[in-house]
Structure 1
Amino acid sequence: MMTFVNSQPSFLSSERATLLKLKQEWGNPPSLSNWTNATSSSPCSSWPEVECLNGSVKVLNLASKELIGSIPPFICQGLPNLENLILHDNFLSAPFPKESLYNCTNLIELDISQNIFFGALPDDLDIGLSRLQYADFGGNNFSGDIPPSIGNLSTLTTLLLYQNLFNGSRLPPEIGNLTSLETLGLAYNDQLADPEIPFEFGRLKSLQVLWMTGSNLAGRIPDSFSNLVNLERLDLSLNNLEGGIPGGLFSLPNLDNVFLYKNSLSGNLPSVVQSFNLTQIDMAMNKLNGSIPDGFGKLQKLEVLNLYSNQLSGQVPNSISSIPTLRIFRVFRNNLTGQLPQEFGVRSKLEAFEVSENNFTGKLPDNLCAGGALTGVIAFSNNLTGEIPKSLEACDRIISIQLYDNNFTGRIPDGIWTLLNLTSLRLSGNSFFGELPSKVAWNLSRVEISNNRFSGPIPPGISSWVKLSVLKASNNMFSGQIPPEFTTLSELTVINFDGNSLSGELPSDIKSWNSLTILNLARNKLSGQIPLSFTSLQDLSELDLSENQLSGQIPTQLTNLRLTSLNLSSNKFTGRIPSGFDNMAYQNSFSNNPDLCATSQISNIRNCHAKRSHTKKFSPKIIAMIVILSTLVLLAAVLITLFVFRNNSKKKHKRIRTTWKLVSFHKMDFTESSILSCMTEHNVIGTGGSGKVYRIAVGQPRGYVAVKRLWNNKKVDQNLEDEFSSEVQILGSIRHSNIVKLLCCLSSNNSKLLVYEYMVHQSLDKWLHGKKRNPMDHGLVPLDWPRRLQIAIGAAQGLCYMHHDCSPPIVHRDVKSSNILLDSEFNAKIADFGLAKILEKHKPGGQEANNRSSIAGSMGYFAPEYAYTTRINERIDVYCFGVVLLELVTGKEANEGDGDLNLAEWAWKHFGEGDSMVGALDPQIKDPDTYLEEMSTVFKLGLICTSTLPSSRPSMKDVLEILRRCNPSDQLPEEMKEGREEIDVAPLLKRESYVTSDNTMVSNGSDDMIQL
């Protein structure tokens, strides 16, 4: 006893030393600042990350501590009694650390999830970690096959391998040997090559959770799953499974949750459903067909039934509506028919009822909200009839009612309009009638009642609809004048009142409509002039006042608005068309206004300089002769047409006139026709994955424009559609001298054109690397260093504006030398915003903004964490720009290193090995000794920007400041000159890693920060 007590202090001292060494090895993170050598600080009692047993470390929990590096070999030598090692959500990056972990002979829990470990899992895991009970390797970059040896870890109760890069074609059936396994997570391994679920998985009789979402699973669900007698949760969503669901699956006595949604399953649903413990069934987004089994109604504990987005047919079984625990019922987007069971809501507290996009007939169930919990009724696009159930008037939890495109009739119950939490009421495409109420729900923001039979005036009480954002009331029978109270609604963005009988003049006091983007009052009886106040609607993009009785001149100030659509046709306007609209882009906007004239050749519009002809009266005899001659000419024309048609009956020609829509973002000094007529192969100056780029002459003073044609196919690619929308949304709204100008865009059914200012010297990529690819290109001369530095500063200014001066910020996601364009003075401009994203910094209610996206960008420029986390932030662009800086200094391409290394990896290796700076420089740079210090600074800045740890990368504001200070003082702005020598720029990791030619990660071994 005495011996044990005497030995304890020495024992703790050695473990304290190990822990402090670990802290240093992992970058001395601030989160472990309380780990000190002070004797008053006991690891077992004062360090919350450490738990002890009998004075020795048993649990080490370092989750989310911003650790960098790997797991050092001394960890288990210094902590011999360690049983639980928890390291998830850090920045550890290395192959699987078997040399370190295989010394942990007492380890029963290992959690290294959400890090950046890579490579294959070892084949001998069962030997090195034989006592392991809990293993979480998820959220890493492990690749290759899942080793069969995992099936020999007989003590495992939890195995999580989700969200990795495994790319094998089979799942190891040996996993079926883990008879103690309770949780198996293989989800989100979308690189797997269509593996089937092994039949042997049916031997996992202790399994409670099987989670295999999104892993390219193919084949059928094994019948052996009926042996999983303890299964509580099954998730096979987002796969390519086919066939039916095994009938035995529903006979499992303890199955509490079944998730089989978002697959591509096909086949009939089973008719045998016997389990009485199922609480959730989700089979949505598959290819299931056949009818919904009546056996579902036997599941008296069922709370959620999701069968949407399948090919189910037949009726909904009445038995389902009688389940007393049912909360969520979603069967939308199927081929279901018949009447909906009227018992829905009578015996259970329904929360969601979504049956849209089917072929249901009859009326809605009367008691959907009998339980008082309903939040939504979504039944659009069916053949439902009858009236809206009055019982919904008492359902204050309802947020959305969507019944559009049905055959409903009658009045809207008054209580529906004023439901306490209602935000969206969408009833278009029915036969509802009645008038608009003066009072609605306090938070009602969207009302869609188009294509019904509503009538009466717009009530003055509409001023109380203060949250209204969208009002679509087209094709009804509203009448009377537009009341001034309507113009007080400050949150309106869309107004559609076209196809009614509104009369009187347009409202003149509309200053509260400053958020309006769409205003459509076409096909009414409005009169008078367009008030000048309409020209103050700066957010307005679509204006349609056609088919009214408006008169007077069109306000010239309307041209100051950035309208994407304008229709003033079929009115009584007079005078000249404003010069900003007097071009081919608006040739259909003014038709059927006889007293309008234009100075350009707009079809159907009189030329302002042409004299109007006067009709001469003729005698009846002359008129008769003209009629006879006209008839003979017409008859001859018909005969000739018939003759031509008969001789060409075997050749049918269909002429299609392409209609183009033009949206301008700057003042245009060219026309649509001048662009379209020059889209020839002769003018092509570049091609890419998304289309071709043309140089088109448009005359002085502009000279040329660059036109990017995104596609030319009858079937539009959705990715290209997204790129076009992103480019238009972002470049159409931002202005900066270092960001290329998008002048306008033109779109048709099968083609999209983006028209930019023409950059004489094209891309930086061409000047840095073009000569190497095409030695015969004698027009390219090597860029000297001052010009390269000028380009770096210009590009940095553009990115800095996007990251720091735009609100919300914009992330480009594809910064590379080919997307940095150069004008005649070699000023740099950022281009190609097809992959750019606007960051959501905050969302209402304190929710975290969703700034994730599918992986996009170019090889050699990928930030390492982007491929893993898909999180979008400004640090991704900083990494890409760091690669561009390395290109400017070294002359190498982004994918050009030694062996398998890319440029960033090669540069880190070069620096880590202490090689001469001169050896990294582009040999094409003249007088390198003169600029060696500046080039060295930019090279090291490129290293900082390409740090593997995102938090170690500087902001673009810092990058720009450092680059500016590389310029001679006489080129700096005045505010930058003072104190130039005092700046301290060394924001870099103490340790970095690089990949050697055999693809292993090696620390550069330096404890010194890079000094610029």
Structure 2
Amino acid sequence: MSILPLPSPFLLLLLLPFLVISQPTTTKNDQTILLNLKRFWSNPPSLNHWNQSSNPCKWPEITCTATAITGITIPYKDINGTLPPFICDLKNITHLDLHYNNLAGAFQTALYNCTNLQYLDLSLNYFVGRIPDDISRLSAELRYLNLYENSFTGDIPVNISRLLKLSSLQLHQNQFNGSFPAEIGYLTELEELNLASNQFTPSRLPPSFTGLKKLRKFYMAEANLIGELPGNLSGLTALELLDLSQNQINGSIPSDLFMLKNLTEVYLYMTNLTGGIPDSIEALNMKIIDLSANMLTGKIPDGFGDLTHLTNLTLMFNQLSGEIPVSIGRLPRLQNIRIFDNNLSGQLPPDFGRYSDLEVFEVSLNQFTGNLPENLCYSRKLIGLAAYDNNLSGEIPKSLENCSSMRKFMVYGNRFSGAIPDGLWKVSKLELMMINGNSFSGELPDELAPKLSTIDISYNKFSGQIPTRVSSWTSLRVFKASYNQLDGAIPQNLTALANLETLWLDGNQLTGELPGTIVSWSSLNTLNLSRNELTGQIPDGLGFLEVLTVLDLSRNHLSGQIPSQLGKRLVLLDLSANDLTGAIPSQLNNGAFDRSFLNNPGLCSDNPSLGLSSCSSRFKTRPSSKISTKLVAVIASTAVILLLLVVLMSRYVVLQRRRKYGLDAEWKLTPFQKLNFTETTILTRLTESNVIGHGGSGKVYRIEVNRSGDFVAVKKISSKKDLDQRLEKEFLAEVEILSKIRHLNIVKLMGCISCDNSKLLVYEYLENQSLDRWLHQKKAPSSRGLNSSVRHVVLDWPKRLQIALGAAQGLCYMHHYCSPGIIHRDIKSSNILLDSEFNAKIADFGLARILANGSELTTMSTFAGSFGYMAPEYAHTTKVNEKIDVYSFGVILLELTTGKEANNGDEHSSLAEWALQHALGNAPIEDALDNEVKEPIYSNEMTGVFKLGLLCTLKLPANRPSMKEVCQMLLGYSMAAKMRKNGADVAD
């Protein structure tokens, strides 16, 4: 075989001109058009590389053939303005992609001049108005049209059906409030149709849509569909995915739906479909079925066992009964099964996991009996096992100790017994183990899985001592072992767990003294050691734990005095039923801890609300009956002198304070209601010991105004010279707004005190302070006055839902019932205050403004707000409306449901961005919810509020709901949660 020689350098030189000519280039005219386009958009920095000295075909946003520009792709470039009318001067353009920018205005009919256009993507922008009736004048070659998430309104024009070559039509998440044409059914080339998340007039699904023979994916969730589904869905012969969830569809599931041979995914959750699942399930290629959150009854048909391609089976939140067909456990491709919250019973099919790569197994909240299937993790791919709240019994399969893929193991609320397999404690990826409420026995392991952060073994029969090697449990954040049979002393090594946040060891048989050195518990916020046999003194170190807010040491045999440092940040405290002695420390000597010290005969307090004997009476001596007249005179004279000294000293202190706070100036008190204090009462008590917080404008004080124990909160506006003008405006804005509005969920402004160089706002005092302190354990100078009358609640889900509804009602009042309407502009969890019953009140109106003409936009001269809460449009425009408050409130809803902070989604994004990416991913929404408060009984409402948070934080303001709509939805969730709770109480 001969080898051809390489071309000589001389030959390459001869070929070089031809090689250069063959590279893509453009005409000078096309380059000029592109540079004009850049100037039209005010020269965005992202297009700085567009210049006259370079070839446009080398710009990453431009696609070329050998002689012409054919494509423009400029997403995520923060381009502002409108679509230029000359864009179609690029005569050969076939591809135009400008998605995810800030383009606005009406649909540009100049696009009709792009006669070769095949691909048009204007999604995720701010286009408004109606789609033109003559939309069919777009290129006859158009195959892809994407206008997703803009603000188009009105009807979808009938003439869109004349774009006969369309294969993909994306019109979801707009503001269409008219009709959609049945003529869409004539687009015979259509493969993907998405009309979801629009508020169309109530309409039935047109029978003509069943003629879309090439349609593979059909999305029409949240589109106001009503009536029954058409009976000829089998006409959609190519259909692979059908999503009609969250509509008002009723009736039963058409029997021919599952005859579609290519159908792999069906989503019909949150509709009103009733009846049973059809027995005639013949879709042999079915991969995903989601019929959750309907009102389906009856049994799971045996035909499901014939769906050999099925990967996902989702039937949760229905009323299905009977047993799971044994054949479902043998499906060869089954990966996810979610059938929780039904009335299913009988034994779980024993072959689950034996013949498939099972990843998710969720069968909770049913009435299953018998054992867990032995082979659930046969393929070593099981990630989550949730079988809680059933009647399952027996021992945990030993095979699970080799399940290296498992992250979550939840079997609480059953009748399991025996020991936990040794290897299960150490599964390398295990993060969550909840096995409480069973009859498990045995001792705690010396070693845990390296990622295991949450363990709940409460209400079992674990015994023995806490292992001394507990210090190796380094990832542990939550450890709940209440009501077991643990004994022995609490090892010192337990205090080495720096990540530990919650520790419950109550209801055991622990003895000995508490560990003396506990400074390593730097993250601990909840400690419950009640109902044990502990002795000795309360360690002083507990008072130095920075984030400890809940402490329960009740019903032990603790003795000695209460450490003076204790109580700096405590919200809930119970030291009752011990052998403690001495006086209550000053920081705890108030009504907030009125039941914290009962049944300690040796304790005393002069505060009658604590229910203890008086310290004064214990040390009172009996006066002598023989006192000379001379002695009486001396005592009287001394008393008079002392009284004069007190008066003089008081006047001196007042004068010093008046000088310190500028009291020499003329102060003016402006009351907005009847007051029981004067300006002097406030001014003389502005001391550091009364500081409870710091705001952007100055300090906040908690001040007692009378002997009855009434308090007010005083916000002092700082007076730095370079901030005077801005702060003056903030002061005037807050006074103007709060003095005029009255609402249960808006903080009450009682009055203002002002002089030339200082401003004070006097509010009602709210005992439980701000929401962010409860959600994120924020530090504050003092926890003084935090109310603990609701002692069984530490922001559980019902309380969070109550707070969300209250704050929403306050905002709704501001937006819709004040005339003119009010925008707050700085809604965040630190500006939601809580009273003693956890009723929410909106505060801090320093950034709020009154809308000039109702709903009209108001141009702001300054930029304000807090990172993580600011709506995206606020970053590039000063024109704002009430939807910026809706966005911020949506972030609060995400905080309430996930427990995360607004600026802490993950290492790359804010909470709103993180939540959206989570929802768009494959992980279930339930995984995003806060494990600290997540309960099966409320999972439906928590998921709903999470989704509402996503809706409120949509990029386009027009797509966000109004606060009136948000209130209605939260009220519905609140009622549903109460019904579930009442139902559970009855069941208990």
- Fold conserved between structures, TM > 0.5: yes
- The CA distance in 1 between the partners of 2:834 and 2:120, in whole Å, is 55
Q: 1:134 maps to what in 2? A: 144
Tell me which of 745, 748, 751 is aligned to 1:691.
745
Q: Does 1:89 align with 2:100?
A: yes
Q: 1:195 maps to what in 2? A: 203
Q: Does 1:166 align with 2:176?
A: yes
AA matched with 1:24: R
- Confirm or deny: 8 A CA contact 1:268 1:290 kept in the other structure: yes
Give the deviation of 1:543 after TM superposition: 0.2
Tell me which of 278, 303, 306 is aligned to 2:286.
278
- The CA distance in 2 between the partners of 1:555 and 1:27, in whole Å, is 66
- The CA distance in 2 between the partners of 1:89 and 1:187, in whole Å, is 19
- The CA distance in 2 between the partners of 1:535 and 1:476, in whole Å, is 28
Q: 2:160 maps to what in 1? A: 150
String of CA shifts for 1:805-849, please: whole Å, max 9, x gaps.
xxxx66599999999xxxxxxxxxx99997897865565676775
Q: 1:211 maps to what in 2? A: 219
- Where do 1:301-380 residues align within 5 Å? 301-380=309-388
Give the deviation of 1:107 after TM superposition: 1.9
- Confirm or deny: 8 A CA contact 2:954 2:960 kept in the other structure: no
Give the deviation of 1:262 after TM superposition: 4.6
- The CA distance in 2 between the partners of 1:224 and 1:138, in whole Å, is 28
Tell me which of 178, 188, 195 is aligned to 1:186.
195
Tell me which of 688, 706, 711 is aligned to 2:764.
706
Q: 1:721 maps to what in 2? A: 803
- Where do 1:379-418 residues align within 5 Å? 379-418=387-426
AA matched with 1:589: S
Compared with structure 1, are the counterparts of its residues 364 and 17 closer, same or farther at alpha carbon in structure 2 (3 Å cutoff)?
A: same
Tell me which of 462, 465, 468 is aligned to 2:473.
465
Q: 2:836 maps to what in 1? A: 747
Give the deviation of 1:521 after TM superposition: 0.2
- The CA distance in 1 between the partners of 2:707 and 2:376, in whole Å, is 55
Q: Does 1:121 align with 2:136?
A: no
- Where do 1:878-957 residues align within 5 Å? none
Compared with structure 1, are the counterparts of its residues 810 and 205 closer, same or farther at alpha carbon in structure 2 (3 Å cutoff)?
A: closer
Q: 2:816 maps to what in 1? A: none
Give the deviation of 1:673 after TM superposition: 7.6
TM-score, L = length of structure 1? 0.66
- The CA distance in 1 between the partners of 2:584 and 2:692, in whole Å, is 17
- The CA distance in 1 between the partners of 2:408 and 2:182, in whole Å, is 47
SS at match of 1:559: coil
Q: 2:565 maps to what in 1? A: 557
Q: 2:266 maps to what in 1? A: 258
Give the deviation of 1:210 after TM superposition: 0.7
AA matched with 2:235: N
Compared with structure 1, are the counterparts of its residues 333 and 673 closer, same or farther at alpha carbon in structure 2 (3 Å cutoff)?
A: farther
- Confirm or deny: 8 A CA contact 2:228 2:251 kept in the other structure: yes
Tell me which of 931, 954, 957 is aligned to 1:867.
957
Compared with structure 1, are the counterparts of its residues 499 and 724 closer, same or farther at alpha carbon in structure 2 (3 Å cutoff)?
A: farther
- The CA distance in 2 between the partners of 1:210 and 1:739, in whole Å, is 38
String of CA shifts for 1:87-116, please: whole Å, max 9, x gaps.
222221110111x11122222221111211
Compared with structure 1, are the counterparts of its residues 431 and 51 closer, same or farther at alpha carbon in structure 2 (3 Å cutoff)?
A: same
Q: Does 1:537 align with 2:545?
A: yes
Compared with structure 1, are the counterparts of its residues 613 and 296 closer, same or farther at alpha carbon in structure 2 (3 Å cutoff)?
A: farther
Give the deviation of 1:378 after TM superposition: 0.5
- Confirm or deny: 8 A CA contact 2:191 2:217 kept in the other structure: yes
Compared with structure 1, are the counterparts of its residues 454 and 708 closer, same or farther at alpha carbon in structure 2 (3 Å cutoff)?
A: closer
Query: How many corresponding residue pairs?
Result: 741
Deviates more, 1:507-516 or 1:240-249: 240-249
- The CA distance in 2 between the partners of 1:119 and 1:37, in whole Å, is 37
- The CA distance in 2 between the partners of 1:294 and 1:413, in whole Å, is 34
AA matched with 2:379: G
AA matched with 2:50: W
Tell me which of 44, 55, 68 is aligned to 1:42.
55
Q: 1:928 maps to what in 2? A: none
Deviates more, 1:51-60 or 1:544-553: 51-60
- The CA distance in 2 between the partners of 1:257 and 1:818, in whole Å, is 40
AA matched with 1:706: E
- The CA distance in 2 between the partners of 1:511 and 1:429, in whole Å, is 32
String of CA shifts for 1:359-392, please: whole Å, max 9, x gaps.
2111111111112211121011111111111111
- The CA distance in 1 between the partners of 2:767 and 2:549, in whole Å, is 23
String of CA shifts for 1:269-295, please: whole Å, max 9, x gaps.
111110111112222233333222211
- Where do 1:552-591 residues align within 5 Å? 552-560=560-568, 562-591=569-598
SS at match of 1:385: strand
> Superposition RMSD on alpha carbons, in Å?
4.4
- The CA distance in 2 between the partners of 1:406 and 1:694, in whole Å, is 49
Q: 1:102 maps to what in 2? A: 112
Give the deviation of 1:30 after TM superposition: 3.0
SS at match of 1:432: strand
Tell me which of 542, 554, 558 is aligned to 1:546.
554
- The CA distance in 1 between the partners of 2:33 and 2:617, in whole Å, is 95
- The CA distance in 1 between the partners of 2:174 and 2:35, in whole Å, is 31
SS at match of 1:184: strand
- Confirm or deny: 8 A CA contact 1:691 1:708 kept in the other structure: no
Compared with structure 1, are the counterparts of its residues 273 and 63 closer, same or farther at alpha carbon in structure 2 (3 Å cutoff)?
A: same
Give the deviation of 1:545 after TM superposition: 0.3
String of CA shifts for 1:113-145, please: whole Å, max 9, x gaps.
121111111111123443322111112111111
- Where do 1:599-618 residues align within 5 Å? 599-610=606-617
- Confirm or deny: 8 A CA contact 2:247 2:271 kept in the other structure: yes
- Where do 1:637-786 residues align within 5 Å? 669=704, 674=709, 687=741, 691=745, 693-694=747-748, 705-707=763-765, 721-722=803-804, 745-748=834-837, 752=839
SS at match of 2:617: coil
Q: 2:85 maps to what in 1? A: 73
SS at match of 1:142: strand
Structure 2 gap segments, 5+ residues each: 1-19, 622-690, 694-700, 714-737, 753-759, 772-796, 811-826, 855-859, 883-887, 917-943, 947-951, 962-988
- Confirm or deny: 8 A CA contact 2:739 2:749 kept in the other structure: yes
- Confirm or deny: 8 A CA contact 2:829 2:892 kept in the other structure: no
Compared with structure 1, are the counterparts of its residues 818 and 54 closer, same or farther at alpha carbon in structure 2 (3 Å cutoff)?
A: closer
Q: 1:176 maps to what in 2? A: 185
Give the deviation of 1:450 after TM superposition: 0.4
- Confirm or deny: 8 A CA contact 1:239 1:262 kept in the other structure: yes
Compared with structure 1, are the counterparts of its residues 220 and 370 closer, same or farther at alpha carbon in structure 2 (3 Å cutoff)?
A: same
Give the deviation of 1:192 after TM superposition: 2.9
- Confirm or deny: 8 A CA contact 1:504 1:525 kept in the other structure: yes
- Confirm or deny: 8 A CA contact 1:686 1:692 kept in the other structure: no
TM-score, L = length of structure 2? 0.68
Give the deviation of 1:72 after TM superposition: 2.0
Compared with structure 1, are the counterparts of its residues 527 and 280 closer, same or farther at alpha carbon in structure 2 (3 Å cutoff)?
A: same
Give the deviation of 1:28 after TM superposition: 2.1
SS at match of 1:247: coil
Compared with structure 1, are the counterparts of its residues 84 and 200 closer, same or farther at alpha carbon in structure 2 (3 Å cutoff)?
A: same
Compared with structure 1, are the counterparts of its residues 63 and 755 closer, same or farther at alpha carbon in structure 2 (3 Å cutoff)?
A: closer
- Confirm or deny: 8 A CA contact 1:378 1:401 kept in the other structure: yes
Q: 1:927 maps to what in 2? A: none
Give the deviation of 1:475 after TM superposition: 0.6
- Confirm or deny: 8 A CA contact 1:424 1:447 kept in the other structure: yes
Structure 1 gap segments, 5+ residues each: 615-662, 679-683, 729-737, 774-791, 804-808, 820-829, 857-861, 872-1012
Give the deviation of 1:343 after TM superposition: 1.2
- The CA distance in 2 between the partners of 1:224 and 1:718, in whole Å, is 46
Q: 1:660 maps to what in 2? A: none
Compared with structure 1, are the counterparts of its residues 397 and 508 closer, same or farther at alpha carbon in structure 2 (3 Å cutoff)?
A: same
